[in-house]
Copies of this chain bind each other. A is one copy, B any other.
Amino acid sequence: MPELRQDPLSGRSVIIAESRAARPDQFSGRSETDVVVCPFCPGHEDLTPKASAVYPVGCNDDRWQVRVVPNKYPAVELNASGDRGEAAIGVHEVIIESRTHVTSLAEVSANEAELTFFAYRDRLRALSKDQRLDYGLIFKNARVDGGASLEHTHSQLIAAATIPTDVQCELAKAGEYRMLHGRCAYCDLIDGELGGARHVSETASFFSFCPFGSRFPYEMWVLPKEHCESFENVSDSGVAELAQLVRRLIRTLETKLDAPAYNYWIRNAPFRLSPHDDFHWRIELTPRMTRLAGFELGTGCFINPVSPEHSAAQLRAVVAEVV
């Protein structure tokens, strides 16, 4: 049973989830012999738990394009009970982004990309109604150095009963900013970055740039230009527009960097914001060119060998060429 623990000296949270040690790993030495059948490919639906959602909505196993299933090796569980620590209560799902066995969101069809982002929003909407759950994280690990253990392109959703400490800190800072300046910190950030040295790309409703404090080379953030607290609130047309932009940004990375490992995640608001809280969701997307090593683990500070200004200039040169 997964357990949530806090380090008493730092306040840092960890989830101890021993069932995850049993999960298959297509990239380890074992892979070629152990994992010959891809559990995410069509025809193997019986290798995953029953789907919690399929897209197009209501279609059968012959026609799904995106499929959401409970994670067989969950980091959190609704019926978890703590042994030495607190129970790690929550829901852990996998979003299979394509019927085709490809390894990146860059390679799925435009339609599959859209349905994937609809799945993100709809599953967050559904889980946000569960009063036991307070926060939902959508994240994607692509390729070995991105932390993927299965090749077939997929993302994950972990909805948990606790709000991550990092999100709590950010909420406090955003609330403070609103109190001091009477405005949203993120809206002001966008105003300052649009058209500047770190600007990468924009669409009618979304803006992408390399953040001033980038941890990684070519790290990019995507924000809605209009103030929007929660990802659950994005409109249908917004979801479709965002999916195409994110797919294009990943294609840009893959054109520039030769099939890099990458991660993205949605820094979302908690499911229920209190009245004095402020937030403005974003996607953080980064290739994994550098490793988090002794310095990062020992200080919490990151060393980034490519400035966001240089990253953005290089990305701008590529993004216009990419469909």
Report whether B292 and A147 are in contact in the complex, using a CB–CB cutoff of 8 Å: yes
The residue from B12, B213, B267, B308 contacting A215, defined by CB atoms under 8 A apart: B12
Which residue from B11, B291, B306 sits with its C-beta under 8 Å from A145? Answer: B291
Min distance, Cβ A221 to any Cβ of chain B, angstroms: 10
* A20 beta carbon closer than 8 Å to chain B: yes
CB-nearest residue of chain B to A142: B294
Inter-subunit contact B174/A9 (CB<8 Å): yes
Main secondary structure of the interface of A (DSSP, over half): mixed
Given A214-B14, A304-B15, is A146 in contact with B293 using a C-beta cutoff of 8 Å?
yes
Q: Does A211 contact B (CB under 8 A)?
A: yes
Cα separation A56 to B156 with both chains bound (whole Å): 53
Q: Are B213 and A5 in contact (CB under 8 A)?
A: yes
Stretch at the interface among A41-49, A162-170, A234-242, A245-253: A162-170
Let me know if A178 is at the binding interface, CB within 8 A: no
Among B7, B139, B212, point to the contact of A213 (Cβ < 8 A): B7
Q: Which of A10, A266, A299 has the most CB of B within 10 A?
A: A299
Q: How far is the CB of A88 from chain B (nearest CB, A)?
A: 9
Please indicate which of the listed interface residues A3, A16, A298 has the most CB atoms of chain B within 10 Å of its own CB: A298
Contact flag A265-B9 (CB < 8 Å), given A21-B306, A303-B20: no
A294→B140 contact, CB < 8 A: yes
* Cβ-defined contact, A18 with B306, below 8 A: yes
CB 8 Å contact bits of A136-167 with B (1 = contact, 0 = none): 01011100011110000000101000001111
Q: Chain B residues near A8 (CB, 8 Å)?
A: 185, 189, 212-213
Q: A294-B264, A298-B139 are in contact. Are A212 and B7 (CB under 8 A)?
A: yes
CB of A6 within 8 Å of the partner chain: yes
Chain B contacts for A5, CB-based, 8 A: 212-213
24 A-B pairs whose Cβ atoms sit less than 8 Å apart in the complex: A3-B307, A5-B212, A8-B185, A8-B212, A9-B186, A14-B215, A14-B303, A15-B301, A15-B303, A20-B305, A21-B305, A21-B306, A137-B299, A139-B293, A139-B295, A145-B291, A147-B294, A164-B299, A166-B300, A167-B299, A263-B297, A267-B298, A284-B297, A286-B297
